[in-house]
């Protein structure tokens, strides 16, 4: 069953984020993942906290693929670029 992940990114290091973006697609493709929607205009319409700089909805063939992507040691350097670009939170739905 298709799985989705919601990604919240607050970018403080644009250079690291640009390097991540250059590699993120190939990393997702390895597990059949894709960015379904990307927004730089996210806004909180209920609840507290600030909106992220970038909000992304990812799609994967299933939950196992999403977990494979995030836990793949061969992709650790790609995830490190994202982590080094600011704060991030990824929620598997």
Mean pLDDT, to the nearest integer, of 40-57? 95
Mean pLDDT, to the nearest integer, of 71-82? 97
Per DSSP, the three-state class of 6 is: strand
DSSP character string of 14-75: HHHHHHHHHHHHHHHHTTT-EEEEEES----SSSSSPPPSEEEEEEESSHHHHHHHHH-GGG
Task: Give pTM, 2 decimals.
Answer: 0.92
Mean pLDDT, to the nearest integer, of 81-89? 96
Hey, where are the domains in the chain?
Answer: 3-92
The pLDDT score that the predictor gives to residue 12 is 97
Is the CATH code 3.30.70.100 the one for domain 3-92? yes
């Amino acid at each position: 069953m298709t799985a989705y992940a919601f990604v919240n990114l607050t970018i403080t290091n644009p250079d690291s984020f640009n390097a991540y973006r250059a590699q993120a697609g190939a990393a997702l493709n390895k597990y059949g993942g894709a960015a379904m929607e990307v927004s730089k205009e996210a806004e909180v319409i209920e609840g507290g906290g600030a909106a992220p700089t970038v909000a992304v909805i990812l799609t994967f063939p299933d939950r196992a693929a999403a977990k494979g992507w995030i836990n793949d040691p061969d992709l650790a350097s790609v995830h490190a670029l994202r982590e080094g670009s600011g704060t991030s939170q990824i929620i598997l739905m």
